[in-house]
Structure 1
Amino acid sequence: MQPYIYRYISSSLVQALSSAEIFENEVGTTPAQPIIIDNDVVLSFTRPCERYEKEVVENEETLAEERKFFNGPVFSTMASNVANRLGIPEDNITLDTLVTLYGEGCVEREVINGEDSPWCTLFTKEDLQAFEYRNDLEDYAQYGFANDLNYKLTCPLKRYILSALKNISDDNVVNQYIFGHFSLRLLADLRLIEDGGPFYADEFPERFSTQTYRGSVLSPFSGGVAFLVNECNGTKTLQVFHNENKLDLPHSDPVTDGSWDLNEALDYFGFNDPNDCNWDAMCALASTVSTPSTEATTSAGYSYKSHRWYLALPLPLIINAAYSLF
């Protein structure tokens, strides 16, 4: 029996599953396994974490800067200006109305549906940047570096990816594609993006143009992360691509085109740390914590194998021997 060359894994979320189905049909990769539906513990982080619930979800201070910004002068001025452009009383435009006009009127029609939306003309460039800055304040607090648990919740997924990279020579699957919603958290946990924070409500607009933690750039609607493992004469090296751009990995040798020794990369990412994904210890409240292939031959006669992994968000995460993540 011919082994599967491609493997597709998806969260059960409609957006992710639809992306996986379309990607598989459009790429036309055969032979491929049927799409594996993850139980969402790995891809959607539904596994209970008591400390995260207490410190982030139920903590009123988590989104304090986002609320301060949204209820501050930037959005109140924006509401007045939008009302004036529409020729209606200012009291008719509330903050919730602004969100509806921006989200459903502008973004969904123009970005998602690909239509020119007249509602976008109600907002200036700085208005649109203000909405983006508000999203970044929220994302940083809930998914970013504001609390290490925000991104460490992806550790089961990270361990799965790194294990696949480690054992890629033993897997008949050459390309794996994972579809879910996790790019910001995963990139943070792998230390592939900069903290860039904290940043605050009163720093807009000056901070907007210089901050490195921007969700619209790091994780757009179809963002993806790809892991490419190459094997040459028994030595495996790793390259990582984010939104199709190759990342400069720590300690990577520019002479080898940004590649990094796979074992060094796995060590950097925490794969060899037995405490890297100790879920019980990580999620326990302070009072309860106890002390503890495509085979090819080069002209020089090398044995060369390439694996790819793609990770999709909701595009794939790719692990390519090819291994990829979207």
Structure 2
Amino acid sequence: KQGPEMRRVQEKIADRLRVPYCLITHDMTEAAFYACAYEFAINAVNSPWCQLFDEDDAKVMEYASDLREFWKRGYGHDINSKSSCILFHDLFSRLDKAANEIKSGQQVTEAVTVQVGHAETLLPLLTLLGFFKDSEALTSTNYATQTERSFRTSHMLPYAANLVLVLYDCGGSDLRLQPLLNEKPVAFSGLTGQQASMPLYQDVKEHYRELL
């Protein structure tokens, strides 16, 4: 809220409205931006609220949103991701069951599991899995160096965001796990090589052994 980029956005809004700078607060700026964003996303309407912002302003507002989510549900605090431990264990418990049935030659009894939640559920899980982790933490003072950041919630958590884990039986006890976020393949952090996007299931479990 106190970064120089955010203050400049507020000043530009005040200039456009021809009012004193002191009358435009961060909360007012955020409310106007979301009014613009929601009307555009839901109704495809370029509302009058959008006239208060230019592209540079929108990037600053996007960063402000990412900054909040980073510290509230992302990598900002270690405890944030721990809220997804139960979901994480349930996920791997189901995968283990399917893997054991495949190895024993049985028919998989639970071919598909669908669990529905909110972005507030998915983001801590993505964090626990190590996806979209940058080398530098997001702060209110390093906006200029974060333009190429991986942690970008508008890409990670759009409307109808979804995470899919597909267990493949490639024959000969060759079980592989492919993660897809919003129908696009992503790679497990820390697993490299040609099979990074579809590593051996056992390698994935070994990678997360401290959590399992």
TM range (shorter): 0.7 to 0.9
CA change 1:75–1:167 in 2 (3 A) is same
Matched, 1:260 2:199: yes
Pair 186,131 (structure 1): closer, same or farther in 2 beyond 3 Å: same
Q: Which of residues 107, 110, 117 in structure 2 aligns to 1:180? A: 117
Q: Is the 8 A contact 1:240 1:246 kept in 2?
A: yes
Cα offsets for 1:50-75 (capped at 9, x unmatched): xxxxxxxxxxxxxxxxxxxx134333
Q: 1:1-326 maps to which residues of 2 (within 5 A)?
A: 70-104=1-35, 106-168=36-98, 169=101, 171-181=108-118, 182-204=121-143, 206-235=144-173, 236-249=175-188, 250-251=190-191, 254=194, 258-270=197-209, 273=210, 276=211
**What is the CA–CA distance in structure 1 between the aligned matches of 2:16 and 2:44, rounded to whole Å?**
24
Q: Which has the higher strand share?
A: 1
Q: Deviation string for 1:28-70 (max 9, x for gaps)?
A: xxxxxxxxxxxxxxxxxxxxxxxxxxxxxxxxxxxxxxxxxx1
- Size of the alignment, in residue pairs? 201
Gaps of 5+ in 2: 102-106
The aligned amino acid for 2:17 is: L
Q: Distance in 1 between matches of 2:130 and 2:6?
A: 33
- Aligned residue number for residue 55 of structure 1: none
> Normalised by the size of structure 1, how large is the TM-score?
0.56
The letter for the 1-side match of 2:28 is T
Between the aligned partners of 1:240 and 1:260, the Cα distance in structure 2 is 10
Are 1:191 and 1:269, in contact at CA under 8 Å, matched by a contact in 2? Answer: no
Percent identity of equivalent pairs: 23
Deviation of the 1:156 alpha carbon: 0.4
Gaps of 5+ in 1: 1-69, 278-326
* SS of match in other structure, 1:177: coil
Separation in 1, partners of 2:150, 2:54: 23
Query: What secondary structure sits across from 2:162 in the alignment?
Result: strand
CA offsets per residue over residues 128-165 of structure 1, 9 Å max, x none? Answer: 11111112221121222222111122110000001111
- Does the CA-based 8 Å contact 1:253-1:259 persist in structure 2? no
- For 2:104, the equivalent position in structure 1 comes to none
Change (3 A) 1:203 1:269: same
